[in-house]
Structure 1
């Protein structure tokens, strides 16, 4: 793998009709922000070879809304990503290191943000970058990492929908 994109699902409704967190759907802002983020990533040349997507409704909808910007991309729905710990996400990423060039993981906080922080710490990222990531990982945000041949991740960018005309930071 040469690139990893860790993305949090876009903005969702507070509760689902079923009462289950897993069933929460995107709001209109979530749909709009997903379109923005798909376009931004594609324009920056960040087209995934594989999208690993949590089994929750909101992550499916985030991916389905943004994937048109990328064209044909292999997608795998991964139930282990729902409410996953950093260890679980990391293991899933490491299992794919040799089989994909650019991996997009669409999942949930706190796991996505905490794993991004771990990668930043391991790569000795600057204090300003660490502070920015520690300050929050808004819905629809994506942290970009370059991955070297040893599997080490180095910071390559952090994009939020708000930075490109989308929703509020949250």
Structure 2
């Protein structure tokens, strides 16, 4: 079995007047990222590999999760990536439990496409900032995974944690 933690970055700060790729988190986003890390630990769902967009807000989200020293690949191709690119990146993963941190609309579309059936949650389709899906695949390796084959294990949005 392979486990995917699919997380959209926490809330970013639009007031800073920076280019999109360099935009940091706002105060709410910083608090949410910490809460999401606490939730992952409480659920005993911790990654042994991270695939992360190279943007400032995904890097900051990852740092504030407080996961410790997890092998991480920062990938430019995950910045504003669509579902196909996200799938290709994931198919190259090597961990048993992989955290993928990226952006909407691609990550929300990917979440909706990768599961057999989405969770019964009013926010799943919109995949708001900080949305986190934990999904399981019956596969021996990431290269074998396909869209529509994951089982939803859990789904959370930061507003439920703060």
Fold conserved (TM > 0.5)? Answer: yes
Extract structure 1 runs of 4+ deviating beyond 4 A: none
1:131 deviation in Å?
A: 6.1
Structure 1 SS opposite 2:47:
coil
Structure 1 SS opposite 2:124:
helix
Query: Which residue number in structure 2 is paired with residue 5 of structure 1?
Result: 5
Q: 1:3-43 deviations in whole A, cap 9, x for unaligned?
A: 0011000011115433x111111001111000000010111
Change in 2 beyond 3 A, CA 1:81/1:161: same
Change in 2 beyond 3 A, CA 1:22/1:15: farther
TM-score, normalised by the number of residues in structure 2: 0.88
1:95 deviation in Å?
A: 1.6
Change in 2 beyond 3 A, CA 1:60/1:51: same
- In 1: Cα distance, 2:112 partner to 2:37 partner: 23
TM-score, normalised by the number of residues in structure 1: 0.85
- In 1: Cα distance, 2:109 partner to 2:157 partner: 17
Structure 2 SS opposite 1:133:
coil
Structure 2 SS opposite 1:129:
coil
- In 2: Cα distance, 1:157 partner to 1:163 partner: 13
Asked if structure 2 preserves the Cα contact closer than 8 Å seen for 1:15 and 1:24, the reply is no
1:76 deviation in Å?
A: 1.1
Structure 2: any 5+ residue segments left out of the alignment? none
- In 2: Cα distance, 1:132 partner to 1:16 partner: 27
Q: Does 1:162 align with 2:153?
A: no
Relative to its length, the structure with more helix (as a share) is: 1
Change in 2 beyond 3 A, CA 1:31/1:131: closer
Q: How many residues align?
A: 155
The alignment's C-alpha RMSD in Å is: 1.7
